Structures are given as structure tokens and as C-alpha cells.
Amino acid sequence: MSRPRVALLNAAHDPTDTTRNFRRELDAELVEFHAADGDLPDSHDYDGVVVTGSRSSVYWDEDWIDSLVAHVADCHDAGVPVLGVCFGHQVVAAALGGRVDGMGEYEIGYRSVERVADDPLFDGIDETFTAFTTHSDAVVELPPGAQLLAENDYGVHAFRLGESVGVQFHPEYDTETAADVTTRKDDLGDERKQDVLDGITPENYAAACEAKRLFENFTQSLVQPKAAD
């Protein structure tokens, strides 16, 4: 089975850790674009697209964000499967007519998420699973016609519309990234920050590795139609 060719739209302002994490998890021929610098594909000649996290907010008035949202909308219209993660999940929602807004608080740390619908993206993942989360924005209105796939007490954690899917949590994180991101959250109180850092344990990471299965599910879905021809 051939490996799919996937455009990785890296929206991180310092893309190094994000590149490492996604290259480790995605079994695909990755062509990377630094979206936060305005670098985007000039065609839709890819088997799939992955949009990463970012410290930016989708609703900020910045040209690169507008261009990224428009590109994702074009990919969706062209039938190119899109997977968005955290900020990328919010980009997909905004591109397809949903709404993203600030939460006024952080969800951060290893948390439980509940699947509320069956979907191929979550094949092999338990109904209740553990994932690392870090976000202060959320999808507050799903795109018209989208199906909610997962949620918790902070709101939407996954949805699908056609071939486009988004997940709010970070299945790609390793413990190094989780600790670095937490440490940099200057607007978290010291006590809460330490609580999150104390929760970054081998046991919690091992539990969260179950959710990494969605990357395999996504990349396999990109080559299955070709194999059936």
C-alpha cells in the first residue's frame, strides 16, 4: 500500500516541535508549509491536508489566518480530506461556517473526552479516552450539517463534515511538548500550572497514546480508495 501525500499546514509560530510531533505520528509523505508565515500550497494536488495547532486565535484579524481559512474551505470544496488539530480544528470549523470564540479560561492537561458518535477516525479508540488539551478558544457553533463526534465539559472536541474533520485535543503531543507548553503559560496561576505539570506522567501519557490511533485511521483512509481501484 503506497503512502499518501499529505500537505502539513504548520500554523505554529515556532514550528520545530510541531514538525517533530507530526512527522513522528503521520505515516505519510509530508510536504510542509509554514502557514503562520503565509506559506500555503498553490494547488490541491494532495491526498490529504493536516492543519496544526497555533498560539493564535482563528478570529484574529491577520492576513495569514484569513488565507489559511480560505485555503481549507477550498480544500473541502475540492473534496480533499482535511484533519485539523486544536487551532487547526477551529480553522476547519470557521472555514465551513462554524463559529469559534474565546472561553475566558483554559482547558489544559490530560483530560477525559467522550465519543458521542461512531466515526472511522475513532476506530479502535475507546468511548472514553484520555488526551492532552491546551486551549482557551473553542468551537461554539458547529458548521451547518456537521456531526459532533466527541466532547467533554469544556465543549466540542471533535466533529466531521464530509471529508473534513477536526479534533480539539492534541494526540500528537509527547511529554516534552506537554511540559514545555504548560511552562510557557504565563497567564496560568502557579498552583494550577504545577498541577498540570504534576499530571504529565508516564502513566497519563501511555493512556493518551490510544488517541494517536486517529492519525493512522486518517492516513489509511486516504489510500483505501486507491487500493480499491
Strand segments, DSSP code E, in 41-124 are 48-51, 82-85, 99-115
Q: Among the options 25, 32, 107, 172, which is catalytic?
A: 172
Plot region of 95 (φ>0 → left; ψ -120 to 50 → alpha; else → beta): alpha
User: Which SS3 state, helix, strand or coil, does residue 217 take?
Assistant: helix
86 catalytic? Reply is yes
Q: 141 and 106 in contact (C-beta within 8 Å)?
A: no
Q: How far is CA 109 from the centre of its chain?
A: 16
CA 220 to CA 76: how far, in whole Å?
A: 18
Q: Return the residue matching grid coordinates 486565535.
A: 57
172 catalytic? Reply is yes
Determine which helix (DSSP H) or strand (DSSP E) holds 113, and give its type and residue range. strand 99-115
Q: Are strands 48-51 and 164-167 parallel, antiparallel or unpaired?
A: unpaired
What single-letter amino acid sits at 202?
A: P
Q: CA dihedral in degrees (86, 159, 125, 213; nearest 10)?
A: -50
Q: Among the options 34, 71, 75, 86, which is catalytic?
A: 86
Q: 139 and 98 in contact (C-beta within 8 Å)?
A: yes
Catalytic center residues? 86, 170, 172
